[in-house]
Structure 1
Amino acid sequence: MIDSREHIVILGGGVGGCAAAYWLTATPELRAKYRVTLYQTGWRLGGKGASSRGESDQHRSEEHGPHVWFGFYENAFKTLRGAMEEHAQLGHTVGPFQTLKDLFMEAREGVFYHHNEPAGKWEPWKMALPRYAGEPGDGTPSPDIRENLWRMADHLALNLSKVGAFGPVVSWFLKMMEKILSRSVKWQEAMTCPTGIQPGDPSGWASYLSRRLIDLAGSERHWYGEPLIGRGFKLLLDYIGWRLRRMKKSAMTSEAKREVCLADLYRTCLRGALVDLLLRDETFQQLDRHEFLAWLKSHGAGFTTVKESPFLRGYYDTPFAFSNGMAHDPNNANFAAGAALRGFFRIFFGYKGAYVHRMNLGMGECVFVPLYRVLKARGVRFEFFHRVEALEPNAAGNRVARIRINRQVRLADGKDEYNPIKEVAVPHAEAPPVFWPVWPEHPMVDQLDPATLPPADDPGLESHWSTHRSSTVELYDRMDPSANGHERFDHVVLAIPPAAHPHLAKGLLEKDTRFRVMVGTSETIRTIACQFWFSDKDDLGWDTHDYFCELAMAGSGPDPFNIIIEASNILRTEATPGASHLLYLCGPISNDANEPPAGSDPGYPAREKARAKATALSWIQEKASLWPGVCLPGTNTLDPMSLYHPDEGATVEQRLDWQYFRMNIDPGERYVLSTNTAAPNRLWPWESGFNNLVFSGDWCRNSIDIGCVESAVTSAMLAAHHLTGYPTRDMIDGLQYE
């Protein structure tokens, strides 16, 4: 029977590809009009968010790196919330987890490591953020930029009171504003918080300041003109900046420096938004031509390098914002100012519920298992073991005419499709085993034709350095008259990151200048990641002042592992009963100038993994003082016997070897940077230059333009809207930030 529906081909099974499939099949009407096929290299979905379970009896969760979902991820949570509801209707669970709330835990605390160079210590600085109303993805309106300004001004005012940056000029200014606005300013003492910054009572003067900024951002109530008020507040913020800059950094205690760093960052971002976005009427996108540190300096920041401020360093570490492959070099810090400012507003002030939501499972299980099952039930066809090799244009250069794909292996006789999910039983001492649906570490060969499996020296079917193939698959544009007898497509969703485009989209880049410029200016960076399990320990000992109430989620740590997350909540899903703590570490690492071409050196990935292991073990030996509880008594040296191993009698070497290490070097694994040379050239999903091609991924323009789950989902929704009209633009959150 011939299927007369329009055929949409999705290339790539990461967040962008799977979210596109979700929205393209979201209604019965869409499913009646379109059929969707997703092509994926190897045996699992996820892209940079893929995770798997090791094949040992411990079933440990192994990630590309640590992942969290910020509270402003409205589109991502909306997508996953809908998927989980449909998942439950189909009778599925994820282990014992049935709802979205089961999959995540809220977090209010962030840690920023300050390197106290004279003392040679790394001190954890805390930022505690409030819980605001709502839940991300719950259908209620998200905070807009005016509410973000309100919240930010509250934080700034209370922080300024703590650092003593007030003076008679501030009081005089407020009295003048009272007269101009005919409104009394109620002075409020700032709340005291010895370990972090907390918001104040909205009746205080901080709310007054932010209300006036909100008025400036869009109210027409003030007949005397917004520019007058705006310039008045600009003068006030300039005065506060002058007071902050006069404070001698060298004479500050660690606590004082923490407050001044944060006050300076708040004040400068608020002043920059006031001047550039409100008074000069520029857009975030226009600000992308500036580098964020230079932009902060132009607005009078006192801390203008990532070395000076752990808050700045932590913010740069989160999107690995170091250009030219020179990881951790402060001279190469590069973050497009528009994307950085937009992200700053949304991460810290534009969220619902908690500012961070941490997963209770690996991302593969938490996100991609329910998405896969729901999409399968909707009729999406998944073609695993299909590596895209080339997209070729038509003669006119305005359509994708043909897609060439390497079918890596064939299915076993009698099998029509590959089932990628495996159920594993995780035993627990006080309960019967729980069955978890997981992505296995390796393909399940019992479903594959043994004659087409790769040789023993192949680096793995997901690897850029694998050349294994069983046959070639060709797909043709339906409008191509030579397509007879071949699988046809009407639309293509390109959800593969740009590091692969020079190879697989070479013909398209030659035809379209804007596409070529976007890819040519795009920068990607390698990342290094590891996971350490620790044996029964009451306390890692890192929080010497008992400041923190939650599992640590830290940035600005010692190079190269700047991101440090304690993920001990995941231990309950593993068969590692002797382990009490699990640490995820990640960071950028410099490019390899001698990286061999694809397919030329099958041993290269293994050597890079060995380098990751050596780097991680050396690092944790040197930086074990971050966690005194795992050090040898009376020293700052790691006690290697504190590392978990399923065999209690394991040697030191066996314990070290048992931990998990990886180097993310493949084009699909590399992180896409938001530099001031790349961000201005990003294209919207519909701007590919080809009538039947749209983009989907965190690497194209999407109103966030920072590599993250929300960017990928937003772009997927925009791509689906362009192709089908659904979701409607009013259903897509965050577009007002462009």
Structure 2
Amino acid sequence: MQNKEQNRKKIAVLGSGMSALASVYELTSYENWQDHYDITIYQMGWRLGGKTATGRGPKERIQEHGIHIAQGWYENAFRLIQDSYKECEKHNLMPNSPFKSWEDGFDREDTTLLTHFDPKTNQWIKKNIIFPSNDYIPGQGGPLPFSAIVHKALGLVIEILFGIDPNKDSLMSMASESAKDIKAPEHHSLWGDFKAKFEAFGKNALKHEGEKLLNYLAELIQNMSNMEDHDHAKRKEHHSLIKELFDLISKWVTKLINSIAEHNEYFYWLAVFVEFGLVNMKGTFEDVYNPETHELDYERINDLDYRAWLKKHGASDRLLSSAMVRFLYTGTFHNLTGADKQGSLAAGVGLHFLTNSAGYKGSFVWKFKAGTADTMITPIYLVLKNRGVNFKFFHKVEQVHYSDSGNIEKISMAEQVTLKNGTYNPTYPLKGLDVWPGEPLYDQIDDEQAKALKEGKYDIEESWCAWKNVGQISLEKGTDFDYVILGIPIDVLGGNEGICKEIIANNDAWKNMYNNVKSIPTMSMQLWIKPTLKELGMNLPDWGFPEGSLPNLVTYADPQYSFIDMSQVMPYEDWNEDEPGVLIYYTGSFLDPEIIPPFSDHNYPHEQLERIMRVSEQWLKDKMGWFFPNATTLEYPEGMKLDVIHDFSKSAKTDYARLKTQFFRANVNPTDRYTLSLPGSNKYRLKANESGFDNLIITGDWINFGVNVGYYEGAIVSGLQAGQVMRDKLGLPSETEIFSGVKMK
């Protein structure tokens, strides 16, 4: 036993966002892991989850960093969630939880709303999308193969163009007219192999040449994916035929779309959807698919902006300004980036994100039934605690010191508060859930310090906080740690007050990464509104949605361009007889001031919060009338009156005073900012095992983990990678498959 303890390595994990938690989950998922290492997580403040952390406010209202949902292609996230629920059930770690299984913690949602501003009519137009649900279960079986995704996408294009629809009478005649010049590629060397199949399409009532070609293309792609990996010559022939077919179909569709797109709103959306699908697929096979390796190499186009890449493959101005393209920029908070502040997103990252999205399982969107942390972080925390992981709350990293020894030798930390019992229990029970407070649980903190914290309203998660730490701690290699997993966001690492500024000053790779991997602040607003959606005037069937659906939207007017009905969480708040009619979350990005002040300027975050609240007030009065016509006024005919909002104070005298009782966040803290994927920046990202130090592993949405866009599925991928790098350093095997990218098979 003594030899085991002497040989056991100490791993210090800095930070507790999803990447850090995933790395620890991976490290502790192997039998007898404690024979090889022990793990301590060091976390600033009082809660876990990083940007997915949740708090509770008045009426036990759930307060988020922003909008968090799960999409049906989050394979690694769903697997982690499913496993944590299973282990909680096995060890009875959540005995009173209303969520007995992972399915209980989610609501499925198939409806999405797209909006587009039409400059010709000076009006917004909408398009409802109902994504068909399927029988796949996310997190089980791995991602759908690329061939299946393309087959699915082409099937959707075929349905849009040739499916049964009363609007399509005129479309079919125009399609036939535009298809006169279509000729099957009979000159191609592979045509003889597929001629019979192509001709068979015509016998199965596929009379239109365009429909036959689309079906033939889908079959060809399916056939290519089933080839033996070593048959490079044959695959190259298939690839060349696919490119030729895409070019042929694109010319036909361009001609068709140009003849219909301006006719009416229906044809506009039809044109956009078809062109969007075909241009992306055509570009993928021309630039991204590698017939030699049978894989998709998205890095080939990451120096280009996504819109520029679409334009290269023939995208019209109509498509480039459409909601379909804006969806990627606003959904990833890239809409205000670039020299013209109109959006800049690495093309490979955008395409990879889009391709993965098309492979959703079950439903396109899965909503957390309670807070993000209540539903996702709590079971992970309880499992890790039960496995024997140590948690050190209120420990703020001040410097990961550089050393020319090739190892990290020392870490300086601040102890933020003194705990009465030396440990901290971060959750409390509410309606059977273990939930996370919006402020520290003061009764576990030294009484005098707790009193000072409350009276001074100090937020010790905030970088500009004026609170004086109570002590200094130095962690030494060989005594306190052998290995370090760094899971703290990139904006915390550099600059005058960066925790890795010594490393950045002495290491060009770190310097390049810090200088080129950028971020942006985001804002969020949560409104508890007294009337229901129908009472507000938004009758869902009139908008093309089933009654009872909770649609989401990510393409509306700046700055709060994304919003979603999150009313499903209200039963897990504490309303008694006073429950609002609807709860809506809003989010968007905003630009930094010209100069971001040093952390000694304690007013800065409060000024930024006031800034977004004022902007949001005017935005609501200018923009929400389209959705809530029953809440408009003569003074603000395009917006909503704010007296429909629940007044938490019960004494607000003005609109702004009422609005201030809601929940807002200005995510300006270095720990809270959204990590961007700008064109040309990917090559500067380091992988989990590329820190340059033998005992330092890096993880987070800022490293090179694959898709390289800031979302918690990606953070989990990077965490799994970090865990496996750590085990590899110790000579231990890893068995967890990481679904980090889309391959052809």
Tell me the distance in 2 between the aligned counterparts of 1:632 and 1:278.
51
The size of the alignment, in residue pairs, is 697
State which of 447, 450, 470 in structure 2 corresponds to 1:450.
447
Q: Contact 2:337–2:343 at 8 Å: present in 1 too?
A: no
Secondary structure, aligned partner of 2:88: helix
Corresponding position: 1:289 with 2:303: yes
Structure 1 residue 736, shift from structure 2 partner: 5.0
Structure 1 Cα separation of the partners of residues 287 and 672 of structure 2: 35
- Unaligned 5+ runs, structure 2: 163-167
Give yes or no for contact 1:475–1:488 (8 Å, CA) kept in 2: yes
Q: Does residue 557 in structure 1 map to residue 556 in structure 2? A: yes
Q: List aligned pairs for 1:101-500, cutoff 5 A.
A: 101-138=103-140, 140-161=141-162, 167-168=178-179, 172-173=183-184, 179-181=192-194, 182-183=196-197, 184-186=199-201, 206-217=214-225, 219=227, 225-246=234-255, 247=258, 251-278=262-289, 283-303=297-317, 308-322=321-335, 324=337, 331-348=341-358, 350-396=359-405, 398-412=406-420, 415-424=421-430, 434-453=431-450, 456-457=455-456, 459-467=458-466, 468-478=468-478, 487-500=479-492
Aligned match of 1:18 = 21
Secondary structure of the 1:113 match is: strand
The answer to whether the Cα contact below 8 Å between 1:134 and 1:352 also exists between their aligned partners in 2 is yes
Whether the aligned pair in 2 keeps the contact of 1:264 and 1:303 (CA below 8 Å) is no
The 3 A distance-change label for structure 1 pair 449 and 633 is closer
Q: For residues 109 and 244 of structure 1, do their structure 2 counterparts lie closer, same or farther at Cα, with a shift above 3 Å needed?
A: same
Structure 1 residues 225 and 19 mapped into 2: Cα distance closer, same or farther (>3 Å)? closer
Instruction: Answer yes or no: is the 8 Å Cα contact 1:323–1:675 preserved in 2.
Output: no
Please list the CA deviations of residues 177-209 of structure 1 after superposition, one character each: whole Å capped at 9, or x if unmatched: 87541324425789xxxxxxxxxxxx9875542
Q: Is the 8 A contact 1:523 1:673 kept in 2?
A: yes
CA 1:165–1:527: 2 relative to 1, 3 Å: farther
Cα deviation, residue 682, structure 1: 1.5
Change (3 A) 1:383 1:335: same
The RMSD of aligned alpha carbons is: 2.8
Q: More deviation in 151-160 or 219-228?
A: 219-228
Q: Secondary structure of 2:26's partner? A: helix
Alignment match, 2:493:
501
CA deviation profile, 1:56-111 (whole Å, cap 9, x unmatched) = 2x111111111111111111111111111111223215741121101111122221
**Structure 2 counterpart of 1:151, one-letter code:** K
Secondary structure in 1 matching 2:583: strand
SS at structure 1 position matched to 2:409: strand
Partner residue in 2 for 1:80: 81
Q: 1:582 corresponds to which residue?
A: 583
The equivalent residue for 1:700 is 703
Q: Match for residue 429 of structure 1?
A: none
Give the equivalent residue in structure 2 for 1:545: 542
Contact 1:369 1:438 (8 Å CA) reproduced: yes
Letter in 2 for 1:439: W
Is contact 1:244–1:302 with CA below 8 Å preserved after alignment?
no
Give a deviation string over 1:206-226, Cα, whole Å, max 9, x none: 554223123335625999944
Give the conservation status (yes or no) of the 8 Å contact 2:232–2:291.
no
- Pair 1:206–1:366, CA change in 2 (3 A): farther
CA positional deviation for 1:391: 0.5
Structure 2 SS opposite 1:489: coil
Q: Distance in 1 between matches of 2:201 and 2:736?
A: 38
Pairing 1:517–2:517 present: no
Q: Which moved more, 1:159-168 or 1:490-499?
A: 159-168
Cα 1:223–1:365 change in 2 (3 A) is closer
Q: Secondary structure at the match of 2:589?
A: strand
Query: What code does the residue aligned with 1:312 have?
Result: V
Q: Quickly say closer, same or farther: Cα 1:522–1:94, change in 2 above 3 A.
A: farther
| Matched residue, 1:618 | 618
Taking structure 1 as reference, are residues 204 and 439 closer, same or farther at Cα in structure 2, changes over 3 Å only? farther
Could you say if the C-alpha distance between residues 126 and 178 of structure 1 is closer, same or farther in structure 2, counting changes exceeding 3 Å?
A: farther
Any conservation in 2 of the 1:290–1:336 contact (CA below 8 Å)? Answer: yes
Aligned position for 1:601: 601
Mapped to 2, the partners of 1:733 and 1:684 lie a distance apart of 16
Deviates more, 1:703-712 or 1:651-660: 651-660
Pick closer, same or farther for the CA change 1:504–1:648 going to 2, 3 Å.
closer
Per-residue CA shift, 1:491-544, capped at 9, x if unaligned?
A: 111110111111111122233322221121011000011011111325143447
State how far apart, in whole Å, the 1-side matches of 2:502 and 2:205 are: 64
Find the aligned partners of 2:366 and 2:181 in 1 and give their Cα distance: 38
For the residues of structure 1 that align with 2:686 and 2:116, how far apart are their CA atoms? 37
Please say if residues 349 and 708 of structure 2, whose CA atoms lie closer than 8 Å, have aligned partners that are also in contact.
Answer: yes
**2:18, 2:457 → 1: CA distance?**
27
Residue matched to 1:732: 738
**Corresponding residue SS for 2:660:** helix
CA distance in 2, matches of 1:594, 1:508: 24
Secondary structure in 2 aligned to 1:9? strand
Letter in 2 for 1:90: H
User: Deviation digits for residues 426-462 of structure 1, max 9, x if unmatched?
Assistant: xxxxxxxx34321111111111113445555464100
Whether the 8 Å contact between 1:241 and 1:301 is mirrored in structure 2 is: no
Secondary structure in structure 2 of the residue aligned to 1:132: coil
Scaled by the length of structure 2, the TM-score of the pair is 0.87
Identify which range, 605-614 or 685-694, moves more after superposition. Answer: 605-614
Amino acid across the alignment from 2:489: P
Q: What fraction of aligned residue pairs are identical, expressed as a percent?
A: 25
Distance (Å, rounded) in 1 between the aligned partners of 2:473 and 2:631: 55
> CA, structure 1 residues 498+141, in 2 after alignment: closer, same or farther (shift >3 Å)?
closer
| 1:650 Cα deviation from its structure 2 partner | 6.0
Cα 1:727–1:360 change in 2 (3 A) is farther
How many angstroms does 1:157 deviate by? 2.6
